[in-house]
Amino acid sequence: MIKTTNTTWMGFLLAISTVAYCGSSHATTPDSIKESLNPLENRISRIAEVLKEREKQLQQEGESDNNFTSDMDDNLIAGGWGNGRGGSWVDSNRGSFVNNRRGWDNWRGWDDWGRWTNRSPWRNGGGFLNRR
Amino acid sequence: MLTSQEKINYLRSENQEFGPISLVVIQPNSFCNLDCDYCYLPDRNLKNKLSLDLIEPIFKSIFTSPFCRDNFTICWHAGEPLTMPISFYKSAFEIIENTSKKYNQTEFSFNYSYQTNGTLITQAWCDFWQQYPLSIGVSIDGPAFLHDAHRKNRKGGNSHELTMRGIKYLQKNNIPYNTISVITKDSLDYPDEMFNFFAENEIYDLAFNMEETEGVNDSSSLNGSEIEKKYRYFIERFWQLITESKLPFFIREFETLISLIYHQKRLNHTEMNHPFSIINIDYQGNFSTFDPELLSVKTPEYGDFIFGNILTDSLESICETEKFKRIYQEIKTGVKLCAENCHYFGLCGGGAGSNKYWENGTFASSETQTCRYRIQILTDVVLDAIEQSLGVTANNP
């Protein structure tokens, strides 16, 4: 079972990159991005595809008992890019909002206004990137 | 001729594309107890205070607005919000809660945040904050020698020690907080010292802001291609230190970018260039939208950026003013230019009008030094690092 110290995208990336990869990538670029492909987008699509393939491999090998990325909160982007320069996704879907103090370790995603963004805790507990 | 009600209905339907409000930035006091040399605010020496009498009208305007269609954060902001007493906020929060009960007919809620220099945080503040859903943003530029070079008090003395005292209070009381560090030319030589400072003090939630040419800060120490190279190295080195540390760092810039990449999500605008995502309110009840940085400044080209006052104008009513239309049109033009000309657009959303104005002289423009630092160089470094860590190259997935 892979464990790292924190449930962050950085932690996810580190966990993924430590796994020996078996297989080859069959990168498929989403249509929405394909229409406006530029070299940078091409590069990003390739990286995304590899990340997902390796995540899938981890799950198939039983290295992870959770889908880490399904629990990572989309609001990180909506609320916290750059100088508070949070954007809205093309298909924005903001997450739930809980006005209580429980589970605040999972409220993250900061910007220039001290805001937090909900980062869902692990469902079912545990997982390969369990923080603290 | 439309009746008043018909006009309101028309405006409401037309403006459904605006919002939803995600952030309400309130300036309870223009005064700041520090005098940072890179600050953009012109009136931070004046003690203009928000009256509690304005709190209900402010939030009545928000809760009854067609733009109130999501949860939002109420941020107490510039100057230094903690120069107002705890008693002010106790009363303000109570009024806000009551106003919500009276006027908020949506399912949506709100939380609070402060953006503070941290020097005035005490146990009493923490006791107060424990009672509410809130988070604190603290401005600290890293170790004392970097922080104190720019963040002086009004007598020219250092502020780092007091800011750290404030952070220790937050840590001791488990108050959710993050830090924002302004990166100047000075910082770029010290990625290891920056990293070690945060690691040693268990400050893990970090964000980097570039020193910007903005407002009364009419030049940035980050100008020049050589400095951009140093910044690239700084980011590369910080990434390396984070990945080697195994500590639970959450770096705003890295997290956002990796998330965008993984999800294959792209931005088509930002909160800063989209009307009524952010509502900015000054001590007199004047309000604005777009960048909070614009609320307190005046420019030869646009005048001020106040669109209305909550005592006399509804939020949606200002959409029909010539001032709003002109500014929004220029901002839209700028975003369109970004979309058409910049490969990084989907990771950026067209930036912020304030940077475009201060650097290019108009909102209707695209690339800025700010976006080169904040988006382009950062993206290049992170993509290189991810490809290296995954062993991905052009021909080798």
Query: B180: nearest CA in chain A?
Result: A112
Angle at alpha carbon of residue A83, lines to B166 and B375, rounded to 5°: 130
Mutating which of A35, A67, A89, A115 best tests the B interface, going by the most B Cβ atoms within 10 A? A115
Average pLDDT over residues B17-46: 87
Token pair in block for residue A132: 């603290």
Q: How confident is the model at residue B148 (pLDDT cuts 50, 70, 90)?
A: very high
pLDDT band of B85, cuts 50, 70, 90: very high
Closest partner residue to B258 (CB to CB) among A13, A52, A97 is A13
Q: What pLDDT digit, counting tens, does each position of B219-243 carry?
A: 678 778 889 999 999 999 999 999 9
CB contact (8 A) between residue A51 and residue B180: no
For chain B, how many residues are written? 397
Per the CB < 8 A criterion, the answer to whether B214 and A117 are in contact is no
What CA–CA distance (Å, rounded) separates B218 from B358? 8
Would you state the structure tokens that stand for residue B118, as one six-digit string?
């941290």
Question: Mean pLDDT throughout A98-102?
Answer: 28
pLDDT of residue A124: 24
SS3 B60: helix
* A–B CB contacts, 8 A cutoff, strictly below: 229
Percent of chain A clearing pLDDT 90 (strictly above): 10
- Residue B153 CA to residue B43 CA, distance in Å, equals 15
Q: How many CB atoms lie within 10 A of CB B134?
A: 26
Model confidence over B152-206: pLDDT tens digits? 998 999 999 999 999 999 999 999 999 999 999 999 999 999 999 999 999 999 9
Alpha carbon distance A23, A16 (integer Å): 14
Distance CA B394, CA A19 (A): 20
Measured between CB atoms, which of B75, B262, B375 is closest to A82? Answer: B375
Which stretches does DSSP call E strand in B155-285?
A: 177-183, 205-210, 250-251, 267-270, 278-281
Instruction: Please name every residue paired with B235 in a beta bridge, in sequence order, or none if there are none.
Output: none
Name the band, by pLDDT with cuts 50, 70 and 90, for residue B265: confident
- Candidate from B22, B389, B397 with C-beta closest to A46: B397
Give the 3-state secondary structure of residue A75.
helix
Query: Checking DSSP bridges between strand B286-289 and strand B278-281, what pairing results, if any?
Result: antiparallel
pLDDT of residue B386: 95
Q: Residue B375: its chain A contacts at CB < 8 A?
A: 82
In the three-class reduction of DSSP (H, G, I as helix; E, B as strand; rest coil), residue B2 is classed as coil
Q: What is the pLDDT of residue B320?
A: 92
- With a cut of 60, say whether residue B5 has pLDDT above it: no
Q: For an interface test with B, which of A77, A90, A117, A132 has the most B Cβ atoms less than 10 Å from its Cβ?
A: A77
pLDDT attached to residue B24: 96
Give dist(CA B206, CA B137) in Å, integer. 10
Disruptive mutation site among B129, B264, B371, B373 for chain A (greatest number of A CBs within 10 Å): B264
Residue of B nearest to A16 (CA): B390
Mean pLDDT of B12-29: 82
CA-to-CA separations, B53 to B20, B23, B138, B285, in angstroms, rounded: 26, 21, 28, 10
**pLDDT surpassing 50 at residue B101:** yes
Q: Tell me what pLDDT residue A68 has.
A: 57
Of A6, A80, A84, nearest to B248 by CB-CB distance is A6
Cα–Cα distance measured from residue B294 to residue B97, given in angstroms and rounded to the nearest whole number: 28
**pLDDT for the residue B13:** 52
The rounded distance, in Å, linking the Cα atoms of B61 and B42 is: 27
d(CA B303, CA B87): 35
Residue B212 has pLDDT above 90, yes or no: no
Segment B314-322 shows an average pLDDT of 95
Nearest Cβ partner of B111 from A49, A80, A99? A99
Yes or no, beta carbons of A82 and B253 under 8 Å apart: yes
Residue A76: its pLDDT value, please? Answer: 46
**Lowest mean pLDDT, pick from B6-10, B35-39, B167-171:** B6-10
Position B215 confidence tier, pLDDT thresholds 50, 70, 90: low
How far is A100 from chain B, CA to nearest CA, in Å? 6
Percent of residues, chain B, with pLDDT higher than 70: 93
Tell whether the model's pLDDT for residue A87 goes beyond 60: no
Looking at residue A8, what is its pLDDT?
Answer: 86
User: Is residue B51 scored above 90 in pLDDT?
Assistant: yes
Mean pLDDT over each residue of chain B, to the nearest integer: 90
* DSSP secondary structure code for residue B282 in this structure: -
Distances (CA, A) of B339 to B237, B267, B269, B348: 31, 10, 9, 10
Please give the model's pTM, rounded to 2 decimal places.
Answer: 0.84
What is the structure's pLDDT at B244?
94
Dump pLDDT digits (tens) for A36-60: 568 899 999 999 999 999 888 887 7
Task: Evaluate if residue A27 carries a pLDDT over 60.
Answer: no
Residue B147 · residue B182 · CB < 8 Å: no
B199 to chain A nearest CA, in Å? 14
Within chain B, strands assigned E span 23-26, 72-76, 110-116, 134-139, 177-183, 205-210, 250-251, 267-270, 278-281, 286-289, 298-299, 303-304, 308-309
Reply yes or no on whether the pLDDT at B375 is more than 50.
yes
Alpha carbon distances (Å) from B147 to A37, A90, B36, B40, B44: 42, 38, 10, 17, 19
